[in-house]
């Protein structure tokens, strides 16, 4: 069984290789309303990238918590670690480890890990398109049910378009399919615009969709989130 105490170990391991330059990207969102309904929402998304010699390491974290009249209405977080070993300028071998915790989705947690390959389809100054595919070993733990072990495949794409010097469009999508029972699959999408204020700060708007075609009982298929964020790059 995958336990939460393993997660700090994964995160620390991803930061051990400190010989190369580290690039970070952080997005912060906060909403507070008072009146007939008192709501508070706090969201964070961050990435850390590092390259040294022929190695590339990418760590990504995502968290969202919301309360309404002091009752928690959304509480989820996820983390992924990607290791890439380039075979040439456009192709790399990859190893991916991911964890997701969302108690309102019907799953106590989801864990996946496995090898894959990444390809840079477009790598121009203004346009970039990266594809990645992995064969994964998964452990899903639905609420109040035993954990479920299976093999899956995950396909992902990230498209970046530099519209102007201070404006960027980003489209990200991933699809993870259970290879044992192919009717179970997971889809994630993020559509975002980032407007640069200076060398370190940007304002961003994003729309995220988290979809599972066969959710546990009493859970919705789609979870949609719209955010306005302050972005820090350094």
Give pLDDT tens digits for 74-88: 888 999 999 999 999
CB 119 within 8 A of CB 128: no
pLDDT of residue 218: 56
Q: Check pLDDT > 60 for residue 191.
A: yes
Residue 15 confidence (pLDDT) above 70: no
Domains of the chain: 6-233 (2.40.160.40)
CA distance 191 to 56: 25
Quick one: pLDDT at residue 19? Answer: 56
Q: Does the structure show a pLDDT above 50 at 4?
A: no
Residue 6 has a CB neighbour count (10 Å cut-off) of 12
Q: Which two tokens stand for residue 193?
A: 């615009």
Q: What is the pLDDT of residue 70?
A: 79
Residue 184's alpha-carbon distances to 74, 105, 133, 189, 210, in angstroms, are 23, 15, 18, 17, 14
Q: Tell me the per-residue pLDDT of 111-159, one tens digit each, with 9 for 90 and over.
A: 999 999 999 999 999 999 999 999 999 998 888 788 889 999 999 999 9
Q: Name which residue leads in pLDDT, 190 or 16.
A: 190
State residue 44's pLDDT score: 93
Q: Is the pLDDT of residue 17 over 50?
A: no
pLDDT surpasses 50 at 162: yes
pLDDT at 34 over 60: yes
With beta carbons less than 8 A apart as the criterion, state whether 59 and 11 touch: yes
- Residue with the bigger pLDDT between 33 and 56: it is 56
Name, in order, each residue with C-beta under 8 angstroms of 9's C-beta and a sequence gap of 6 or more.
none
pLDDT at 223 over 50: yes
pLDDT band at 215, cuts 50/70/90?
low
Q: How many C-beta atoms surround the C-beta of residue 79 within 10 A?
A: 19
Mean of the per-residue pLDDT values for the chain? 86
- pLDDT value at position 211? 86
Q: What is the CA radius of gyration of the chain?
A: 18
pTM value > 0.85: no
State phi, psi for 7 to the nearest 5 degrees.
-65, -45
Q: Which helix (H) or strand (E) holds 15?
A: none
Predicted pLDDT of residue 68: 82
> What's the pLDDT score for residue 71?
84
Render the burial of 111-121: b for 16+ CB within 10 Å, e for the rest: bbbbebebeee
Q: What is the model's pLDDT at position 185?
A: 87
Cβ(123)–Cβ(90) under 8 Å? yes
Per-residue confidence (pLDDT) for residue 95, from 0 to 100: 97
């Amino acid at each position: 069984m995958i336990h939460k105490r393993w997660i700090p170990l994964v995160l620390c391991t991803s930061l051990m290789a400190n010989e190369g330059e580290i690039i970070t990207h952080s997005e912060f969102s906060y909403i507070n309303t008072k009146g007939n309904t008192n709501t508070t929402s706090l969201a964070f998304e961050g990435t850390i990238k590092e390259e040294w010699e022929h190695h590339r390491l990418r760590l990504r974290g995502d968290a969202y918590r919301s309360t309404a009249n002091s009752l928690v209405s959304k509480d989820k977080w996820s983390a992924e670690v990607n290791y890439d070993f380039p075979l040439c300028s456009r192709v790399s071998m990859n190893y991916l480890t991911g964890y997701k915790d969302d108690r309102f989705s019907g799953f106590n947690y989801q864990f996946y890990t496995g090898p894959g390959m990444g390809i840079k389809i477009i790598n121009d100054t203004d346009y970039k398109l990266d594809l990645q595919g992995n064969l994964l070993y998964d452990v899903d733990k639905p609420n109040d049910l035993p954990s479920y072990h299976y093999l899956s495949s995950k396909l992902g794409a990230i498209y970046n378009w530099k519209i102007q010097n201070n404006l960027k469009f980003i489209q990200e999508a991933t699809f993870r399919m259970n290879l044992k029972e192919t009717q179970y699959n997971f889809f994630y999408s993020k559509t975002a615009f980032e407007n640069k204020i200076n060398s370190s700060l940007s304002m961003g708007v994003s729309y995220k969709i988290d979809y599972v075609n066969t959710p546990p009982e009493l859970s919705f298929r789609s979870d949609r989130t719209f955010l306005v964020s302050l972005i820090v790059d350094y």
